[in-house]
Amino acid sequence: MHIQDIFKQHTPTFSFEFFPPKTDEAEDQLIQAVHELEELIPSFISVTYGAGGATRQRTHDLVLRIQRETSCDPIPHLTCIRHTEREISDILQRYAEAGISNILALGGDAPRDLVDYDRSRDRFRHAIDLVRYIKDFNETGVHPDPRGFGIGVAGFPEGHPSTPNRLLEIDYLKAKVDTGADYIVTQLFFDNHDFYDFRDRCRLAGIQVPIIAGIMPVTSSKGLMRMGELALGAHFPAKLLRAIARCHGDESYVRKVGVQWATEQCRDLLDNEVQGIHFYTLNRSTATREIYANLGVKNSKMLEKQS
Ligand SMILES: Cc1cc2nc3c(=O)[nH]c(=O)nc-3n(C[C@H](O)[C@H](O)[C@H](O)COP(=O)(O)OP(=O)(O)OC[C@H]3O[C@@H](n4cnc5c(N)ncnc54)[C@H](O)[C@@H]3O)c2cc1C
């Protein structure tokens, strides 16, 4: 379903993110995890894209499997770094033929072994170039929906590391939206004030599209460190770190603290008119299910009614 229709039918939206596993067996397990989450009635499921290249085909395959084998609506991520125009065109063509309704258009980061990668010769230097290309593709009428693909873009409540000037950064985000993005999904954050402030700054800049809040529960001490890597520059509140320190390394308690923290974030976001919550699941369904249970609801529909 086109994202504009998803927002019309479900506000706030509740969505889950998965990454493509490396083996067929792991992919089967993941499809099982998606089936387990079906009862939560997600508004959509998003599938990440390996900017490095290794898992790109797997994103495509997984998206199509979710579309075919489950009741969930998959949204593929697409990063433009190191892609030629022909490659992007082929990918869009295939998704259009399969009836995939939306794409999350991203810049992507250079793989670790190519840290000095120079993007100046890339056909697509920034996500905005991809947004523009998808908009042009939409005009060709290849997509079964006359509007073409719905387009999402990334937003960074605490700022993106490569643009230290926060005013300029919002201008770049506004440009992506003005070029054709229908919605924004944020990087994970642990302090809702960062999200509310970002949302206010977007509105002040004239960005009116829905902004979906990215939530990732801490489920282990190792996971916490990994989140610091994934979301460079993210602020880890002392209150959360103190709560984790009190667990004295007992991972079952770390998990409880993390899920509780994420639950409180969600409760507060729901009380403050969030337009969508996106759960970074790390391919597991349990923590997300626990958050729903803590919120006292069986599925996303019940959360919608309460908003
Ligand atoms: C919700 C979400 C999902 C993600 N999914 C994936 C994924 O599946 N695969 C993956 O590899 N990565 C993913 N990422 C990571 C993302 O690709 C990186 O964080 C990347 O560095 C930024 O992506 P972007 O789309 O914001 O890029 P861009 O919009 O291109 O921005 C990148 C940087 O360039 C700056 N910029 C933007 N436009 C201009 C301009 N015109 N001139 C100069 N500077 C400019 C921005 O301010 C920013 O600092 C995801 C991130 C988020 C928040």
Domain ranges of the chain: 3-298
| Pocket (CB within 6 angstroms of ligand 1) | 48-49, 51, 77, 79, 106-109, 126-128, 154, 160, 162-163, 169, 172, 176, 185, 187, 214
What is the average pLDDT across 82-101? 97
Higher pLDDT among residues 35 and 116, named by residue: 35
Ligand 1 atom 15, closest CA: 108
| pLDDT tens-digit readout, 233-278 | 899 999 999 999 999 999 999 999 999 999 999 999 999 999 999 9
- Can you read off the two tokens belonging to residue 279? 């759960």
Query: In this predicted structure, what is the pLDDT of residue 114?
Result: 78
What is the average pLDDT across 202-214? 98
109 contact partners, CB below 8 Å, separation of at least 6: 51, 81
Q: Alpha-carbon distance 297 to 66, whole Å?
A: 24
CATH code linked to domain 3-298: 3.20.20.220
Ligand 1 atom 23, closest CA: 107
110 pLDDT above the threshold of 90: no
Query: In this predicted structure, what is the pLDDT of residue 56?
Result: 84
Give the helix/strand (H/E) hosting 136. Answer: helix 127-139
* C-alpha 298 to ligand 1 mean position (Å): 34
Beta strands in 87-174, from DSSP E residues, in sequence order: 102-106, 150-155
The residues pairing with 105 across neighbouring beta strands, listed in sequence order, are 78
pTM for the predicted model, two decimal places:
0.97
60 pLDDT above the threshold of 70: yes
- Can you read off the two tokens belonging to residue 52? 């490095």
What is the average pLDDT across 224-232? 91
Give residue 28's region: left, alpha or beta (phi > 0; psi -120 to 50): alpha
186 pLDDT above the threshold of 80: yes
Question: CA distances (Å), 34 to each of 73, 89, 158, 282, in order?
Answer: 11, 29, 30, 12
303 pLDDT above the threshold of 60: yes
294 pLDDT above the threshold of 80: yes
Give the helix/strand (H/E) hosting 179. Answer: helix 166-179
- Can you read off the two tokens belonging to residue 285? 């369904």
Are residues 287 and 259 in contact, defined by beta-carbon separation less than 8 angstroms?
yes
Would strands 102-106 and 150-155 be described as parallel, antiparallel, or unpaired?
A: parallel
Query: In this predicted structure, what is the pLDDT of residue 113?
Result: 78
